[in-house]
Amino acid sequence: MVHVSEFHPGKNLSHSTTSKVLLLCLIVFLLPVIYLFFANSSSTPWLNFKFYVDNINQGKKCNMFKGKWIPSRQEPYYTNATCFGIHDQQNCMKFGRPDREFLKWRWKPDNCELPPFDAKCFLEIARGKSLAFVGDSLGRNQMESLFCLLSSVSNPEYVFHKTNKFISWLFRDYNFTLASFWAPHLVKTIDAGPNGPTYNRLMKVYLDKADDSWETEIETFDYVILSAGRWFYGPQIFYENDEVIGCHECKRDNIEKLSMFYGYRRVFRTTFGTLMRLERFKGVIILNTLSPPHFENGEWNKGGNCNRTKPFLKKVKGLDGGDLEMYLTQIDELRIAQREGRKKGVKFWLLDATAAMLMRPDGHPNHYGHWPHENVTIADCVHWCMPGPVDTWNEFLLQMLRMYDS
């Protein structure tokens, strides 16, 4: 039996206003395009939401993932006082972050506009549907942002599940389910060193087996957003067909050395393949690309921090090293899966926030995800403060829904 309890109050929207809200969504979506039509005499920019990465012909097309951060007077969508679903690790205001400059910027795509998030519009589009985040804590970061955005207009009710790897809420006014599955490697893993250090423990990673936490529950979801990255830097022993095939940073001389990128590619191939093979799954698969960290003055475990209070106003550097190869691997595997999915009627979308987030070294919790007396020495320059730049990910998501599913 499923137990449901009220989570916290919000505002309701009656069913009689559905058509009006959808009309408003359409108006909000078209206004920037109409404006640019008359403002640009040489050509008409248009919103290009193709799932893969193309070279954009500037002035003729608009890729909402390419742009810059500009000053904004808009107030945050929520605060830690209005949303009770913020994980402490990202609750920068609660733990005393003194500056607010990082909240005063918005993403401006080249040659078009990205409208503010509209919670009522999102819920109308998603009425009667379900959305699941599958993966790591950065996926959970986005999920909690969406939870806060939506709970401002509708009561989320917590749904009880037997495992803490699967959490969900029901927005009953809209019959919309928001869920999160904890599977940081996406595939089956076993802790090979339970007594080892928390941040660098050896993991057995079964590259050809999806994690049961989501595989057994995901078939009925309409949207599945995948996020995985940082966990693959740690030591891993790779398995296929239940046999060891190699390892990354495992420090065992009798096991063949394989790069983490081998495992990373196989994991996405397994995840995409599993979703396409599920008989009842008819949803949309959305890849959220790699979220970049911003450690300065040292590595993450050697005194590195992220003390900046403003975004980079121009591109100072791109992805490099391991992060670049992981990003390119994601894109490559998504393209392969998209070709296969087209044959089977399975849709793949790309939510490519990487370039935008590269420019936000100011958006991380740093040392404001805990109380000072807790004596936590490692800064968090991986996750994102809430509210903060992470809310832009859900502005991207809403635009994708408007373009494809409204």
Q: Give me the active site residues, please.
A: 137, 380, 383
Q: In angstroms, how far is CA 126 from the centroid of its own chain?
A: 18
Q: Let me know if 245 is exposed, middle or buried by CB neighbors in 10 A (0-12, 13-18, 19+).
A: middle
The angle that helices 137-150 and 391-405 make with each other, rounded to 10 degrees, is: 70
367 token code pair: 């040392």
> Which are the contacts of 93, defined by CB distance < 8 A and separation ≥ 6?
79, 80, 385
Q: CA dist 50 to 36, 284, 325, 404, Å?
A: 20, 14, 22, 10
- In angstroms, the CA 25 to CA 5 distance is 31
Q: CA dist 163 to 136, 166, 221, 255, Å?
A: 16, 6, 18, 34
> Which are the contacts of 40, defined by CB distance < 8 A and separation ≥ 6?
59, 111
Contact 30, 45 (CB under 8 A): no
SS3 of 244, please? strand
